[in-house]
Amino acid sequence: MKTIVTDSVKETAKIIKKGGIAAFPTETVYGLGANVYDEKAISKIFKAKGRPGDNPLIVHIAHKKHLEILAREIPEYARKIIRQFFPGPIALILKKNEIVPDVVTAGLDTIAIRMPSSKIALDLIKECGFPVAAPSSNLSGSPSPTSFVHVLQDFKGKIPCILIGPKAKFGLESTVVDCTGRDPVILRPGVVTLEQLKKINKNIKYQSRTLKIISPGQKYRHYSPKAKVRFVKRETSNLKRGTAYIGLNKKFAKGFEHVNICSSVEEYAKHLFSFFRECDQIGIKTIYCDKVSEKGVGLAIMNRLMKAIG
């Protein structure tokens, strides 16, 4: 298959409107989108990614009024989250309406909805005229793409279109919040933090690993480079062939073949997945990562690292 690589929103929307799929940039990671109402198109996403059919997609909207079309029973705390954080790097799980095909939600009676803040993503959804269902645009199991180059690595010749845009501003997938219960529950931490959401509802919880899995995506091994991922332990200065380091601590970085010293947790989050891919490209065998405290964005970084370590 020929993959069109374009910076034209119009051209990309045309392909999606005709029942095709296309990768596009967002502020979190690149997505692989299709018309939410077109079951055939949705199944192309699962096929291209090699994604298990029981892992539901996030539906992207460009107008808040589309919330009411896709979802029902939106609790007051969810409305507050929407007022404060839409558009932005957060997805809400709500009870779904009939109109949403089962393939999108993997048969669940709930739907994940997100309104991206990325201008090019919003322009694309507006141009399509319907909500766009989109998982991250990576092969199932590999790190999420934060640049169109990563999308090309995974999908050149395998999907009809890639919309080129800037590198992802945040570099980690959205915060996923279950809004179907009495109080909100964070299913996947992201750059909208637990602390920020606590200000809206103080009873909000982060679903720890020991709790029952209600977000299907959480049970799959994710975000993994080919290299092994480990936490860095102590500083040594021997040359460690085939090893790489990413983190905040300069002292730990000595002796590694490839390093990325980040000046903040935000930068760590932004660079993590692209560093994973970079390491695979140059044949790194083990990537050592700094542990960070599970505060703010640190919670999301630790969640992704634990998954990559497996």
Contacts with ligand TXA, residue ranges (CB under 6 A): 26, 28-29, 31, 55-58, 91, 93, 105, 108, 110-112, 114, 134-136, 173-174, 176, 187-188, 215-218
When CB distances to Mg ion are compared, the closest residue is 136
DSSP structure class, residue 191: S
Q: 55 touches which of ligand TXA, Mg ion, none (CB within 5 to 8 A by kind)?
A: ligand TXA
**d(C-alpha 127, C-alpha 14), whole Å:** 9
Q: Which is nearer to Mg ion, 193 or 218 (CB)?
A: 218
Q: Does 26 bind Mg ion (CB under 5 A)?
A: no
Question: CA-to-CA distance for 71 and 108, rounded, in angstroms?
Answer: 13
Complex with ligand TXA: residue 170 or 245, whichever CB lies closer: 170
Q: Which does 146 bind (CB under 5 to 8 A by kind): ligand TXA, Mg ion, none?
A: none
Q: How far is the CB of 135 from Mg ion (least distance, A)?
A: 5
Which of ligand TXA, Mg ion, none has residue 175 at its interface (CB below 5 to 8 Å by kind)? none
Contacts of 260 (CB under 8 A, 6+ apart): 244, 245, 246, 247, 271, 275
Please report the beta strands in the chain, taking only residues with DSSP state E, as ranges in sequence order.
Answer: 4-6, 22-24, 31-35, 58-60, 71-72, 90-96, 110-114, 132-133, 161-163, 175-178, 185-188, 205-206, 228-231, 240-247, 256-261, 286-289
Query: Tokens standing for 36?
Result: 């939410």
Q: Are 131 and 139 in contact (CB under 8 A)?
A: no
Q: How far apart are the first and last CA of the chain?
A: 34
Stretch that binds Mg ion, among 107-115, 130-138, 188-196, 229-237 (CB under 5 A): 130-138
Partner from Mg ion, ligand TXA, none binding residue 112, C-beta < 5-8 Å depending on class: ligand TXA
Among residues 136, 174, 201, 207, the one that binds Mg ion under rule CB under 5 A: 136
| Least distance to ligand TXA, CB of residue 218, Å | 6
> DSSP label at 133?
E
Residue 110 binds to Mg ion (criterion: CB under 5 A): no
- Is 142 an interacting residue with respect to Mg ion (CB under 5 A)? no
Contact 67, 61 (CB under 8 A): yes
Q: Which of residues 136 and 274 has its CB atom nearest to Mg ion in the complex?
A: 136
User: At its nearest, how many Å lie between ligand TXA and the CB of residue 188?
Assistant: 6
Q: Write out the residues near Mg ion by the rule CB under 5 A.
A: 136
